[in-house]
Structure 1
Amino acid sequence: MTTKSSEEWKAPLTKQEARSLLQKWREENTRCPEKVRDVWQAFDLRNSVGDEKWQILEQVCLAAMDLHDAVLIKDCLTQLDAKFPNSSRVRRLKVMAKLELRERYEDALKVYDDMIKKDESNSILYKRKIAILIAQRKIPEAIREMSEYLKKFMNDSEAWLELCDLYIQEQEYSKAAFCMEELILTNPHNHLYHQKYAEIQYTINTQESMELARSYYSQAVKLNPTNMRALYGLFLTASNLSQQAKYTSQKRRENAKIASWAMSHITKIYEDAEAGKHQLSALEAMMGSLQVNSVN
């Protein structure tokens, strides 16, 4: 059965479709708390999903925290605690609801430290500590904790991406680039990793970094020819390099040719999609969004 997308969920659904939709959001780590709560409240899934009920309850509980829905949080925690009275997973949810949500961050950190001593392999507990530091806007401290975390859990791609974004916030672009290099080594076929690395190099904005950006935008396009952001980046970097006075006329022409190819490919994609003239005229504005934004 084909699962309906999050945009289609309001169409008439069966219980099985609602269950599949919630599962899809869990697997894709999609954060859509209002939709999760609405689906949960629209369908009585308590007695029709078997043991999956507990995963759904945890999902709904997290959504309720995002929405500060105290009644729903209490309902979920009561059921989970009754079923798993000694579960560290349920205890973590309690800490999130009763301490983090009330911004009692120091108390929450103490509890997590105590839980980590009993279960040092629990990666989620380390991540909760880092999440608290980020919530407090203690970015340098969060970076240190994340770096220590990655020494223990080196294969956590989400953590590498999070560390990359933290470095970008601090405008430490070379360190952000290193994070993406690690991810590209582990998954060289992920076009989004190549794209993000290229964007960081584009932001650094030296001749050497611009050449790297062009190379990685090219690879992203090779892996996914319809990646529009990578195509925009390839156009911009090649255009920039085609005007470099230090280059030979041949090199400038080669880069101009690449820029022309990128623009023609962008135009073709829009034309094939029957996007219309108004979308073509928006290209220049969209190109301006390529530079990685840093938080001041």
Structure 2
Amino acid sequence: MATSLLQPPTSTSPETALRLSQKASSFVNSQSSWFSSLPYPLSLLFSSESQEKWQVYENLFLACLRTGDNDTAHACLEELTARFGKVNDRIVALTGLYREATAQDDQELAEVMKNYEDILKDDPTIFSIRKRRAALMRSVGHASEAITALTNLLDQSPTDAEAWAELGDLYLEQGSYDQAIYCLEEVVVVTPNAWNMHARLGEVIFLSAGRTEGGDQLKALSESMRRFCRSIELCDDYLRGYYGLKLATDRLLEALSTSKKSQQSSADPVTGDLAPPSISSVKKLNEAATAKLGEIVRRSSSGERGWDGYSESELIAARELLERGTQKIER
């Protein structure tokens, strides 16, 4: 449980979030004492202090919101507020998130939005509130306004990887693949070792390849394959990376075998384009991805120690992908 409590909330599976929320109440009670009721900053004089402690509180807060345990989430929020104060930017954002999650109707959500607007009128530099405002716009279906809000934010903070990723997701929902790819490329520039973002970029490029044909399709599939390769280079056991690599190489082998040489794009040193890989190279990558996926599914399904951190839905998808490949060979 300790490892899960310190992991970023975005990497927590639904099963783990439920397990954490079930233990959150006992954790909060164990941490409570008479000095926790003191107003900030007097509470600091008696409170045990560590960065891990407050990370645990925040992760439990988010896990409880995800699972609908609003009372325990509120208790965690109160502890964080007692430690950091109501005017702390992050506490203000977490408070807004709590109000969003517990809103009963559109009117209450509108009140949360108005509160964000009032805060930003007083201080437009609170980027955490600007992000929450954009996220709320997206959740109520105002995608174009959310895109505008995030674009304005990134004009002032161009190295905000979280905002770039959110903007990329918004463009992807609108079917604007080129813009989504551009945003995700900015993410990997800011966080070059984020293997999940390399895989995400590979997925979007793979999807965009379905709208092209000929040399452009080969170029997109080749780039998608390279992104998945970079992902598993950074994280050797990343299931999503191997899944994407198998999909990309399967499609690339079909495209290479059916395309004419005149349709295949060549390397262009001026634009930096790379020529499509050889069929033999793609086959080797496909075989490696297939073997690794099989190993992950086999060892994780058997409950082998050290292979139990995978999402069940991703394991099912990987198993189905492997079975489809087996059916093709049998035919």
Q: TM-score, normalised by structure 1?
A: 0.72
Deviation of 1:91 (Å): 4.1
Structure 1: runs of 5 or more not aligned: 1-8, 10-17, 288-296
Deviation of 1:228 (Å): 1.1
Q: Percent identity?
A: 21
Which runs of structure 1 show a deviation greater than 6 angstroms over 4 or more consecutive aligned residues? 278-281
On the 8 A contact 1:164/1:180 being kept in 2, the answer is: yes
Could you say if the C-alpha distance between residues 147 and 286 of structure 1 is closer, same or farther in structure 2, counting changes exceeding 3 Å?
farther
Deviation of 1:210 (Å): 3.2
Cross-structure match for 2:5: 22
Q: Secondary structure at the match of 1:224?
A: helix
Q: Provide the rounded CA distance (Å) in 1 between the counterparts of 2:144 and 2:193.
A: 31
Could you say if the C-alpha distance between residues 61 and 98 of structure 1 is closer, same or farther in structure 2, counting changes exceeding 3 Å?
same
Could you say if the C-alpha distance between residues 65 and 219 of structure 1 is closer, same or farther in structure 2, counting changes exceeding 3 Å?
closer
The yes-or-no answer on 1:229 pairing with 2:212 is no
Which amino acid letter does the alignment assign opposite residue 264 of structure 1? Answer: E
Deviation of 1:191 (Å): 4.5
Could you say if the C-alpha distance between residues 286 and 24 of structure 1 is closer, same or farther in structure 2, counting changes exceeding 3 Å?
farther
* 1:171-210 C-alpha deviation (Å, 9 max, x unpaired): 1111111112223333445444443333323322323143
Could you say if the C-alpha distance between residues 121 and 209 of structure 1 is closer, same or farther in structure 2, counting changes exceeding 3 Å?
farther
Could you say if the C-alpha distance between residues 254 and 107 of structure 1 is closer, same or farther in structure 2, counting changes exceeding 3 Å?
closer
Could you say if the C-alpha distance between residues 285 and 137 of structure 1 is closer, same or farther in structure 2, counting changes exceeding 3 Å?
farther
Of 103, 121, 124, which aligns to 2:125? Answer: 121
Q: Provide the rounded CA distance (Å) in 2 between the counterparts of 1:86 and 1:271.
A: 50
On the 8 A contact 1:194/1:216 being kept in 2, the answer is: no
Q: Provide the rounded CA distance (Å) in 2 between the counterparts of 1:270 and 1:124.
A: 38
Could you say if the C-alpha distance between residues 171 and 57 of structure 1 is closer, same or farther in structure 2, counting changes exceeding 3 Å?
same
Cross-structure match for 2:152: 148
The yes-or-no answer on 1:96 pairing with 2:97 is yes
Q: Provide the rounded CA distance (Å) in 2 between the counterparts of 1:62 and 1:130.
A: 19
Q: Provide the rounded CA distance (Å) in 2 between the counterparts of 1:271 and 1:77.
A: 43
Which amino acid letter does the alignment assign opposite residue 41 of structure 1? Answer: S
Q: Secondary structure at the match of 2:7?
A: helix
Once the two structures are superposed, the pairs formed by residues 112-261 of structure 1 within 5 Å of their partners are 112-205=116-209, 206=212, 207=214, 208-221=216-229, 224=232, 227-232=241-246, 233-245=248-260, 247=262, 255-261=278-284
Which amino acid letter does the alignment assign opposite residue 71 of structure 1? Answer: D
Could you say if the C-alpha distance between residues 90 and 248 of structure 1 is closer, same or farther in structure 2, counting changes exceeding 3 Å?
closer
Which amino acid letter does the alignment assign opposite residue 210 of structure 1? Answer: L
Q: Provide the rounded CA distance (Å) in 2 between the counterparts of 1:235 and 1:197.
A: 18
Q: Provide the rounded CA distance (Å) in 2 between the counterparts of 1:280 and 1:57.
A: 36
Cross-structure match for 1:35: 19
Which amino acid letter does the alignment assign opposite residue 219 of structure 2? Answer: E
Q: Provide the rounded CA distance (Å) in 2 between the counterparts of 1:62 and 1:254.
A: 44
Deviation of 1:124 (Å): 1.0
Cross-structure match for 2:49: 51
The yes-or-no answer on 1:68 pairing with 2:57 is no
Q: Provide the rounded CA distance (Å) in 2 between the counterparts of 1:178 and 1:274.
A: 33
127-136 or 210-219: bigger deviation: 210-219
Q: Secondary structure at the match of 1:171?
A: coil
Could you say if the C-alpha distance between residues 258 and 243 of structure 1 is closer, same or farther in structure 2, counting changes exceeding 3 Å?
farther
Deviation of 1:105 (Å): 2.1
Q: Provide the rounded CA distance (Å) in 1 between the counterparts of 2:297 and 2:202.
A: 29
Could you say if the C-alpha distance between residues 191 and 40 of structure 1 is closer, same or farther in structure 2, counting changes exceeding 3 Å?
closer
Could you say if the C-alpha distance between residues 86 and 204 of structure 1 is closer, same or farther in structure 2, counting changes exceeding 3 Å?
closer
Query: Number of residue pairs matched?
Result: 267
Q: CA RMSD in A?
A: 3.8
Deviation of 1:254 (Å): 6.4
